[in-house]
Structure formats: C-alpha cells, structure tokens
C-alpha cells in the first residue's frame, strides 16, 4: 500500500485555524545553537560562498523530491534530478545512491504511512512538514527524516521530536522513535541514526524545552519592542 502523500510546506507559510502564522520547526531550532549559523554567515560575505549555498540547496531539494517519488511509487522517480546541471547532477546522483542503498537494505521492507505531510500543533503553536512516517520491521512507528548535509546534528533529532509531537496532536498517531538517514553527496554511503529509547525520550524532552525557551524569548523580544527579527514565518 502506498503512503498518504502530503503537499509539502504551504506556499503562504503555516497558519493555524485562526489564521495566525506559526513559526516552523526549523525556525525555532535556528534560534538555538544552529550548527550551520556560522557557515551561513560566511556564505553571505561573498558571491562564491552564496553560490555554494545555492548549489547545496538545489541538490538537497532535488534529492528529497526523488526520494519522495521513489517511496510513493512514481513511474519515473529520478525525474527531479534530470534538470540539474552536470556538476549538481553528479552530487545528487551520489546522494540518491547513498539513500537507495539504505532503501534497498532496509527501507523497502518497511510499511510507509505518510510522506511530506504538513503538520500544525495548534496547542503548542508551531508547525512543520515531516519527510515520512513508517512502521519498521519490529512494528515501531518512526518519524523518518532525509538529510543531504555534510554531517548529522542533534538538531536533526530535535526536528524529528517536534514532528512526533505534532503527529500525535494532529493525526492521533503514537510515535515510537525516529530514523535520520543522511545521504552523503561525496561518498555515496548512507549514515543512519536510530536513537535508543532513552535517547529518544531525552530528545523529545529537550525539544519541548527548546520550544518553551523560543516562545519566552519571543514574548520578551516583542514586549521590549526590539524590532522585527527574522523569524522565518
């Protein structure tokens, strides 16, 4: 059975039932120790660095689209890679090869429930789009996240925890854990992280603290009238 397929991130941003714009999970996590922050700052300093950023984003989007197409059983799952320039196509092919290695060995045996589903946690006031949700070979429901970054960060696990909370609130699905699959663009080898239960519980607790801190920081900022921050909304 093919998974339920969402539409990805809404073009106008995430809004709750009252029309209020909600911060995304990635926006919230960027406020607290984003490991890419210094890199992004350096990238803004010159056109060459900006080009590197744009190249990375283009490859990441194309690979994500190809993965989505594969999981959903599309006739031509590699079509999202076809329009990339030669240099970008090489990186994307390597990343997709890394992911497909994991898919052949592991993911193809799982039962896939959801792909690219926008999530809104009305009660806690945030939103995001989960890459996928699957039932693994042991019967555990996992939030699955695809990455094409140079390494895996703890913030990637916090992302999964945020999606787990939102899935339980919006969809009524109990989530047992997560799986972060990093498709390496250089080596073509996958890096997979499925944290044990104790780490997963700690990750979910840490995410809720980070969310609370973000909201308190935002209220303080707004109360003092410190000017508009780049909140990614």
CATH number at residue 217: 3.40.1350.10
The answer to whether residue 15 is domain-embedded is no
Q: Span 100-125, mean pLDDT?
A: 97
* 28 is a domain residue: yes
18 exposure class (CB count in 10 Å sphere: 0-12, 13-18, 19+):
exposed
- pLDDT category at 31 given cuts 50, 70, 90 is confident
**Domain assignment present for 179:** yes
List the structure tokens of 16: 């709750």
Q: Report pLDDT for 149.
A: 92
What is the tens place of the pLDDT at every residue in 74-103? 999 999 999 899 889 999 999 999 999 999
> What's the predicted TM-score (pTM) here?
0.89
The answer to the question of residue 181 being in a domain is yes
Q: What is the number of structural domains in the chain?
A: 1
Q: Which of 14-18, 99-103, 137-141 has the lowest mean pLDDT?
A: 14-18
Q: Residue 14: pLDDT above 90?
A: yes
Sheet with 177-183, edge to edge strand ranges: 4-5, 111-121, 126-135, 141-147, 177-183, 190-193
Quote the domain boundaries for residue 38.
Answer: 20-224
- Is 80 inside any structural domain? yes
């Amino acid at each position: 059975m093919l998974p339920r397929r969402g539409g990805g991130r809404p073009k106008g941003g995430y809004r709750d039932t009252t029309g209020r714009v909600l911060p995304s999970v990635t926006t919230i996590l960027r406020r607290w120790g984003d490991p890419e922050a210094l890199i992004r700052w350096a990238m803004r300093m010159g056109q060459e660095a900006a080009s590197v950023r744009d190249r990375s984003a283009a490859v990441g989007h194309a690979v994500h689209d190809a993965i989505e197409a594969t999981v959903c059983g599309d006739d031509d799952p590699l079509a999202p890679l076809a329009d990339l320039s030669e240099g970008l196509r090489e990186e994307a092919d390597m990343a997709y090869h890394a992911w497909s290695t994991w898919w052949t060995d592991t993911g193809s045996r799982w039962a896939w429930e959801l792909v690219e589903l926008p999530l809104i946690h009305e009660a806690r006031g945030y939103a995001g789009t989960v890459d996928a949700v699957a039932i693994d070979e042991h019967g555990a429901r996992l939030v699955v996240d695809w990455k094409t970054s140079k390494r895996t960060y703890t913030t990637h696990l916090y992302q999964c925890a945020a999606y787990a909370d939102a899935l339980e609130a919006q969809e009524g699905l109990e989530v047992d854990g997560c799986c972060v699959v990093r498709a390496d663009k250089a080596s073509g080898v996958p890096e997979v992280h499925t944290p044990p239960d104790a780490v997963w519980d700690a990750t979910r607790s840490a995410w809720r603290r980070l969310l609370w801190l973000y909201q308190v920081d935002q209220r303080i900022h707004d109360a003092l009238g410190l000017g508009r921050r780049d909140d990614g909304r």
